[in-house]
């Protein structure tokens, strides 16, 4: 855990987050937006950043994203398939079971994995191979994907960063997936938007990430529905 916090703290020190406007509409307004019964399903398949680590029900990324999409007139039901602590290897092992047990086939998937691989110092080649296999499974099932990317902590060294950081743009290109280059860009470096661990966003931080990503997700969902 100490290594986890150290690495994350170094990432925070090294990154200057983009300026992201305050979420609009307000959280309360977004939460009140109804979800149509026939809304297309978005599967959020990832780790603790999707699972809503240490947040109250409804404060994590999937429910806040769902509320924001419906509030702006984009019908969507976002299914939270995030598991805290998941590496890409663990996620790959549960992927088929997760997909086979969805009551409704997802129209779109969000894939957010790799941070735990990096924080454990696992070989980037393994991360790449596992993510490639995950995306291949989505391809086989004809489920479009938006990847939410990760960056390596500076303390792991330039060689590790050189191998790790290109994984997401490379695989997005290979699998014709959408790409959010760095999922945590809107919050890192701002303690007011992070939990005390300086690793995970708090509820306000989640709103910032939703504000930064909802337009891209909405466009990907519209394209998937139109196919």
In 3D space, the residue among 80, 52, 75, 85 whose CA is nearest the CA of residue 207 turns out to be 52
CA angle 48, 182, 141 (to 5 degrees): 70
100-138 pLDDT, tens per residue?
999 999 999 999 999 999 999 999 999 999 999 999 999
**How much is the pLDDT for 3?**
41
Enter the pTM of the model: 0.86
Question: How far apart are the C-alpha atoms of 165 and 100, rounded to whole Å?
Answer: 31
Active site residues: 48, 197, 200
What is the percentage of the chain residues whose pLDDT exceeds 70? 86
* Measured distance CA(52)–CA(178) in Å, rounded: 22
Residue 48 has pLDDT above 60, yes or no: yes
CATH code, 97: 3.40.50.1110
Residue range of the domain that includes 95: 2-226
pLDDT digits over 174-201, tens only?
999 999 999 999 998 899 999 998 889 9
| Calculated CA dihedral for residues 12, 18, 19, 22, nearest 10 degrees | -80
User: How many domains, the chain?
Assistant: 1
């Amino acid at each position: 855990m100490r290594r986890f916090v150290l690495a994350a703290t170094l990432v925070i020190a090294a990154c200057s987050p983009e300026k992201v406007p305050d979420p609009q509409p307000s959280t309360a307004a977004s939460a009140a937006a109804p979800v149509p019964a026939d809304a297309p399903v978005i599967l959020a398949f990832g780790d603790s950043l999707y699972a809503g680590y240490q947040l109250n029900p409804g404060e994590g990324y999937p429910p806040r994203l769902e509320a924001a999409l419906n509030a702006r007139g984009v019908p969507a039901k976002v299914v939270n398939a995030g598991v805290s602590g998941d590496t890409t290897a663990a996620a790959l092992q549960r992927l088929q079971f997760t997909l086979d047990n969805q009551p409704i086939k997802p129209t779109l998937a969000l894939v957010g994995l790799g941070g735990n691989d990096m924080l454990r110092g696992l070989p980037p080649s393994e991360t790449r191979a596992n993510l490639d296999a995950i995306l291949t499974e989505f391809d086989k099932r004809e489920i479009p994907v938006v990847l939410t990317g990760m960056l390596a902590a500076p303390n792991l060294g330039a060689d590790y960063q050189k191998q790790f950081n290109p994984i997401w743009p490379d695989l997005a290109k290979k699998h014709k997936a959408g790409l959010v280059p760095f999922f945590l860009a809107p919050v890192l470096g701002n303690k007011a938007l992070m939990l005390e661990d300086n690793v995970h966003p708090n509820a306000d931080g989640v709103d910032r990430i939703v504000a930064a990503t909802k337009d891209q997700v909405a466009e990907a969902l519209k394209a998937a529905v139109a196919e």
